Amino acid sequence: MSFLIINSKVLPGYIPPEKEELLSSWIFRLSQSHKIKPFSFTKFYFKETAFWNRDVDKFIYGTVIEQLTKITPLSKNDILNLHLISYKDIVFNTPLVASYTRGITNLGIYHRKRKNNGLLACPKCLRKKYYYKKSWRLLTSLICTECKCHLIDHCPNCKAPIIFQRLDIGDKSNHRNIPIYLCWLCNFDLRIEFEVVAENSLIYDYQKYINECITNGFCIHTQYSFLYIQVLLNILGKSKTNSSKWIRIRNAFISEFNLIDEEFFCKSLDTSIQFRRKIIPLIYFLLNDIPERFVPFCKKYSLRYSDFAKDNERLPFWFYKSFREYY
């Protein structure tokens, strides 16, 4: 039996979103609580047949949000808080665009397929409650500080990206209520394998710092969290290149930290979580003490301000000032 009732004000199978839940995860769980396939659910309630074909956490029609305010007890603000737009002026301060927004992972959607590992997950959080968190779409999310383990960005068994909404595809008529923590492709339980992180590790320190930065909206470097994240991700981006000219930042990281990774030599804007795990905590480490760590690093490898500011990127004043002051 399913619960397709349109006259009732609130959805008959309404369930509230969980703490910091991602909008698409909640809508998927709503379809499950109504015992309807996600595709049919969004078609019926939102009159949308292509709903799951795009990155709905990045882009959603106003009419869908409006409809959600009608069929759930939530306000527009409550719903927007589940959406990645809620990170505007915290993680990024540009418009949230489907193609590329700084700080937000890219799903690389092509029709209903995805080529990127854009959705992350904590295997241990998925054991506690069955839903996906909004912060699992942030490039700055590397580990779960609560569970003290690495986040994953693909199925450890078949390597497919995590795409929970594909779980109920296939068999058109029967709704199967497949648990959200299974791999959509091979049905492997994503909660089984996890890698522990020590509390006194650099990556743990980094994640605590960035989580606080995002919660507070500022950090010790600057009064706006997105201006710190901009520099962090700028350096991450500059650390990988296939250019033969702008190689100083990449070579500095490889030499200074004795790193080997093919991804250093690839030009795509996207990064794997394995690569981010290696580099981002090191950037955090260097920036944490600009006169004693970052500037000596730059001097040692002859890195100039122009190495960071190439591609006409306007870097935040706090970063520019540090360069002028100590270099």
Distance CA 114, CA 55 (A): 10
Closest to Zn ion by CB, 179 or 296: 179
- Is 227 in contact with 316 (CB distance < 8 Å)? yes
Secondary structure, 3-state, 173-225: CCCCCCCCCECCCCCCECCCCCCECCCCCHHHHHHHHHHHHHHHCCCCCCCCH
Distance CA 98, CA 54 (A): 9
Smallest distance from Zn ion to CB 236, Å: 23
Smallest distance from Zn ion to CB 57, Å: 19
Question: How is residue 91 written in tokens?
Answer: 């993680």
- Is 224 in contact with 218 (CB distance < 8 Å)? yes
Distance CA 321, CA 192 (A): 47
Interhelix angle for 273-287 vs 225-238, to 10°? 120
Smallest distance from Zn ion to CB 189, Å: 10
- Is 22 in contact with 120 (CB distance < 8 Å)? no
Closest to Zn ion by CB, 122 or 273: 122
Closest to Zn ion by CB, 109 or 183: 183
Smallest distance from Zn ion to CB 273, Å: 14
With tokens 């250093």, the residue in question is 264
Closest to Zn ion by CB, 154 or 250: 154
Counting DSSP H helices and E strands in the chain, the numbers are: 12, 4
Residues that bind Zn ion (CB under 5 A): 122, 124-125, 144, 146-147, 155, 157-158, 160, 183, 185-186, 188
Question: How is residue 246 written in tokens?
Answer: 């702008």
Smallest distance from Zn ion to CB 207, Å: 11
Smallest distance from Zn ion to CB 79, Å: 24
Closest to Zn ion by CB, 78 or 189: 189
Closest to Zn ion by CB, 65 or 160: 160
